[in-house]
Chains A and B, each alone.
Chain A
């Protein structure tokens, strides 16, 4: 697979990642990323189809804890770093469109 990644692709990815990049940043990333992708693309030839994927160094599956009440953060502690809060809640900008 070619590592063709255009400036428009970078802009689309930035949208997916929720980062409002400036024009200069888009230019720079559109220059950097193809070079990096060209280097990392060797992984595509490195392993055969019979090689299983490894997502993690430890063979752990689900780990459960006992379902019991334990001490936790107070509302004040949990809200201490909030940009804005009110009545024990995080205040956030609108999340739904007008229409």
Chain B
């Protein structure tokens, strides 16, 4: 008979902060903690498929080194010895980096991304690389060439995307910390639908060196965790100026950990974004259960002394349209580097004697890229092509200016903005796979932050019924099985004021956990431990 994961408690269930304190107090070792997490991965990842690659030897070696430093009394970072999972979009020496694509199958990077260098320097063992939509293009992780990741709350549902692997790993207690990237919501939306915390820092706050680029002016790396404080602790490790990234901000990192520990919204002015509140007037599509949990969370903020006002950001309604021009345009240019000449897949065209480089390139890119990547490359090529550039890419860039102006005007009136993170809860696997527009619409609330470069944090605010609950069987309805999916709320702050997100996020998290009597993930159904 299969055991449930309730038997395996303690170490895997610790937050990163709790683990760090246990390590400092000598109550556990990094090796013990890392082994517990590797065992957990071994037990549940057949079902969840959060990882594309697991590196037990590398993780345990780093854990041993951290333990040795600690026992020798050497200075260690606060998170030293606390293991982490890394999205497969970051270059890692010694582990393959595929970006969920066939074109990079088996590629071993000759260098580390700067964020990975910083994780290693801080002594965090890297458990492995997490699944993602191919080149981070998608909202469900179903566009991974290596198969989808499943949502730990309901394994027939998507974990969000593109960083569904990182979010699911954290939600399934396979790792206390993970790294993600957010180009249009790929950290925050998976956080929302898996009941975890995800932060997109200010653009330029975290180095992009070694992060395989999708859309360079939008991509930003950030933390994926179970608590707001953990996200702040990880943020502090990875953030800060990097000479290897010319868009990296050369200024001190905001005091995010201190802000997360402060956790006080009294006197804060928070703006409820009218255009992202699901009004039918603006296209709607927000699930009633999502709006109900959102409204309750906003009420908690008001009760705790925040002043909540309604704010209008009229240009946000054009955000999605601008994003689906800017992003594919930049992606079509960035993905030109996959040319089958220097690394990655090379496929000779069939039936061609002595093919040219151009023919090899074209057949390799056909064989190596999946449907969604091709769709976006072609879309971007169109938007940038002669005769259409001004009408599409040029117009989208102007909308970007309008959105940045809306943010600037809003932040003259309020300290923070707030909205639901995702308009819907997790949907069934396969549901939107054949309808690209339906998939794109899931990013409506997260996109404006990327276009303007401002930071955002998503945290869980409760559970709601599935959008498709009505179509579920009567048995499901009776058992309530279809009524229990996480909902996320996002805070948005002015550029470089990431600390405000952590202060408000930690405050709301505390108020919610007081209401729930513990973290939301404690209510997640137990996963069957796979037969080995």
Contacts and interface: CB of A to CB of B under 8 A. Distances in A.
A39 B247 CA distance: 31
A17 B436 contact: no
Contacts of A58: 203-204, 247, 249, 453
B381 A13 contact: yes
B124 interface: no
Nearest to B110: A77
Contacts of B217: 55-57
Contact of B381 (A17, A25, A53): A17
Contacts of B315: 46
B136 interface: no
B111 interface: yes
A17 B369 CA distance: 12
Interface string A83-94: 110000010111
A63 B397 contact: no
Interface residues of A, number: 55
A18 B204 contact: no
A24 to B, nearest CB: 10
Contacts of B89: none
A8 interface: no
Contact of A90 (B322, B342, B349): B342
Residue among A1, A14, A19, A60 with the highest chain B CB neighbour number at 10 A: A19
Given A16-B381, A47-B395, A93-B357, A36 B437 contact: yes
B343 A13 contact: no
Nearest to B250: A63
Contact of B108 (A16, A17, A81): A81
B401 A52 contact: yes
Interface string A31-68: 01101110111111011000111111110100101000
B318 A42 contact: yes
Contacts of B399: 43, 46-47
Query: Which size bracket describes the interface of B in this complex?
Result: 35 or more
A46 B402 contact: yes
B424 interface: no
B498 to A, nearest CB: 14
A81 B343 contact: yes
Contacts, number: 179
A53 B400 CA distance: 7
B374 A25 contact: yes
Interface stretch (B73-81, B360-368, B469-477): B360-368
A17 B437 contact: no
B354 interface: yes
Interface in B375-392: 375, 377-379, 381-382, 385, 388, 391-392
Nearest to A48: B398
A63 B246 contact: yes
Nearest to A58: B204
Nearest to B330: A55
Given A43-B392, A95-B357, A13 B385 contact: yes
Contacts of B394: 53
A57 to B, nearest CB: 2
Contacts of A9: 382
Contacts of B107: 81
A85 to B, nearest CB: 9
A94 B341 CA distance: 11
A8 to B, nearest CB: 13
Contact of B361 (A14, A18, A54): A18
Interface of B: 107-111, 203-204, 217, 243, 246-247, 249, 315, 318, 320-322, 324-325, 332, 336, 339-346, 349, 354-363, 365-366, 369, 371, 374-375, 377-379, 381-382, 385, 388, 391-392, 394-402, 404, 436-437, 440, 451-454, 495
23 contacts: A13-B385, A15-B362, A17-B332, A33-B375, A36-B379, A37-B379, A37-B392, A39-B320, A39-B324, A44-B391, A44-B392, A46-B398, A53-B394, A54-B397, A54-B398, A57-B451, A77-B110, A81-B109, A81-B342, A81-B344, A83-B346, A93-B360, A95-B357
What 3 A-B pairs have minimum CB-CB distances, sorted nearest first? A57-B453, A81-B343, A53-B397
Given A19-B365, A32-B375, A95-B358, 15 more contacts: A10-B378, A16-B381, A17-B377, A25-B371, A33-B379, A36-B324, A36-B379, A37-B379, A46-B395, A47-B399, A51-B402, A55-B397, A57-B203, A57-B454, A83-B344
